[in-house]
Amino acid sequence: MTQLPAAPAPACPTEKLRFTRETSCRNDGSVEFCLPKDAQVVERVRRLAPEIQGPMGGAGRIRCDLSREDLYFFPTDNRCLEPHGALTDEAWASLCRVAADPAISGIAPTWYE
């Protein structure tokens, strides 16, 4: 029986990312994004990437509108090819799936000050 090739992965919506794949680990351990205060949307995105953390307090660098959105983190710690370099293939694919969700308008590096 001949096995069909796997369907190609959808293109990563890099226009939503405030970093490149090569710099995807240049942060303080995560990248951040806003999600609507809607349990169904949050559950949908958690199915794409169960590792996301949140909701977090504050608007973050991504500047969530706290009247209708919450801040979430996608952790990059231990998922990088080298410190402050690129995410692994698996982590990058997961992040791209999150970015492709229509509820996500942008993803930015997290920096604690």
- pLDDT tens profile 9-25: 568 999 999 999 999 99
Q: What is the mean pLDDT of the chain?
A: 91
For residues 46-71, average pLDDT: 95
C-alpha 2/C-alpha 59 separation (Å) is 51
Q: HSE, CB side, 13 Å, CA atoms: give it for residue 1.
A: 2
Given a cut of 60, whether residue 75 has pLDDT beyond it is yes
Q: Which domains does the chain have, with CATH numbers?
A: 28-109 (3.30.70)
**Cβ of 98: how many Cβ atoms within 10 Å?**
23
C-alpha 106/C-alpha 33 separation (Å) is 6
- pTM of the predicted structure, to 2 decimals: 0.88
DSSP state of 19: S
